[in-house]
Amino acid sequence: MAILLTGGAGYIGTHTCIELLNAGYEIIVLDNLSNSSVKALNCVSELTQKNIKFYEVDLLDATNLENIFKENTIDAVIHFAGLKAVGKSVETPLHYYHNNITGTLILCEIMQRYNVKRLVFSSSATVYGVPKSVPIFEDSPLNATNPYGRTKLMIEEILRDLYIPNEDWNIAILRYFNPIGAHPSGRLGEDPQGIPNNLMPYITQVGIGKLDKLKIFGNNYPTIDGTGVRDYIHVVDLALGHLKALEKVMSSPGVDTYNLGTGRGYSVLEIVEAFERVSKKKIPYEIVDRRPGDIATCYADATKAKEKLGWIAKRDIEEMCADSWNWQFNNPNGYESSKNIHLIN
Ligand code: NAD
Ligand code: UD1
């Protein structure tokens, strides 16, 4: 039983590779390495002592994508591949729409042709835009506020439309909240290019001394301490959510959407405090203006994933901070710092 992971060399993809391999699945990874390194897949192989079949292929390259389906018997696809930087999506919207949406269309057409109709798709809490109330339920209003978010929203709609005349498709749409953390081995983690946009990698880079201080984007939100509140989820819990979603699409047809979050929000200052506690590092910060487009509070109601997938996030905020720090500390320059071993084929 082979599972194809598009974008499987990325942050969430590699953590999911580990859990799938440990659970006994055979996996095939497709990635164009535009935002990842083959070294991450080498680490996955080393940690699991299993081989990964890897194709350096772009989703937009229909010929080579089709070859993967010709050469392998694929039971299901987990579709991570996509560009994810909100700011860049505003600067280069066509690039984002083309990569994320056209890539998904090509993938679905080829899946249909090869009768592979089980799909788990990486969506995002960003599709909720500015929530009217929290916690956010799967049927809360949708309203993405930037091109990246709109690619996710449009793909969700495309998948729901795809199902209408093709009721033999089994599709799970997973809306991730804020993934942080890293593999407990310290060998795998998030490796952003340049200065990080997201909170946790920024904090860990301050911790390691690569950045001077954290800039906190506003302390006048209507939250516990004025700073933004988010539902941070450990990337290993998120990876395990994919196994549960996979079991679901293997067993029953339909298209359904699930929030993957913890159901609890933490403010920026609470994250800084938790990080300082576990790392014993002081994180200097200054309060600056709000970041345009940011919202005050966002956290999930994750009851549906619990009831329908049998999944729940188990790792707490201290474990998230400890694993993020362990990864950063052991790999100050991300995968640049890791050994170049060759275990994939
Ligand atoms: P990532 O950038 O680490 O992984 C995405 C992978 O897709 C990368 O390895 C990249 O090289 C690959 N890729 C991009 N376009 C491709 C293409 N055309 N062909 C082949 N490969 C391509 O990101 P991630 O954090 O692992 O996110 C995985 C998915 O989850 C993305 O779709 C992202 O939008 C979504 N998501 C991420 C977050 C987050 O905070 N990390 C939150 C919500 C949703
Ligand atoms: C960001 C993305 C969103 C994506 C989500 C999940 C933006 C505008 N949104 O959301 O599309 O789905 O990540 O990864 O990029 N913060 C600081 N200083 C920093 C960085 C962040 O104070 O240097 C604050 C933010 O204001 C926010 C919180 O930390 O309150 C979390 O920020 P971030 O990690 O960027 O995630 P989101 O803004 O939730």
pLDDT tens-digit readout, 51-102: 999 999 999 999 999 999 999 999 999 999 999 999 999 999 999 999 999 9
Taking the C-alpha atoms of residue 23 and residue 94, their distance in angstroms, rounded to an integer, is 39
- Active-site position among 25, 128, 148, 232: 148
Closest protein CA for atom 21 of ligand 2:
199
Tell me 337's DSSP state: G
Residue 33 has a pLDDT of 98
CA of 268 to the centre of ligand 2 (A): 10
Amino acid at 176: Y
In the three-class reduction of DSSP (H, G, I as helix; E, B as strand; rest coil), residue 199 is classed as: helix
Q: Whose CA is nearest to atom 2 of ligand 2?
A: 86
Q: Indicate if 128 belongs to the active site.
A: no
pLDDT at position 338, please? 65
pLDDT of residue 24: 97
Atom nearest to 227 CA in ligand 2 = 30
Residue to probe by mutation, ligand 2, list 126, 156, 198, most atoms within 8 Å of CB:
198
Q: Which residues of the chain have pLDDT under 50?
A: 340-343
Residue 335, helix vs strand vs coil: helix
Pairing mode of beta strands 266-267, 229-230: antiparallel
- Nearest ligand atom owner, CA of 88: 2
Pocket test for ligand 2, best of 199, 214, 268, 285 (most atoms within 8 A of CB): 199
Q: Are 267 and 224 in contact (CB under 8 A)?
A: yes
Whole-angstrom distance, CA of residue 62 vs CA of residue 51: 25
Domain limits, the chain = 2-337
pLDDT in tens, 239-274: 999 999 999 999 988 999 999 999 999 999 999 999
Q: Which CATH number fits domain 2-337: 3.40.630.30, 3.40.800.10, 3.30.420.40, 3.40.50.720?
A: 3.40.50.720
123 Cα nearest atom in ligand 1: 44
SS3 state of residue 292 = coil
Q: Tell whether ligand 1 has an atom less than 6 A from the beta carbon of residue 124.
A: yes
Q: Give residue 1's pLDDT.
A: 74
Residues in Cβ contact with 336 at an 8 Å cutoff, skipping those fewer than 6 apart: none
Which residues does 63 contact at the CB level (< 8 Å), separation at least 6? none
Q: How many angstroms separate the CA atoms of 70 and 160, rounded?
A: 26
Would you call 269 helix, strand, or coil by DSSP? helix
How far is 159 from 173, CA to CA, in rounded Å? Answer: 9
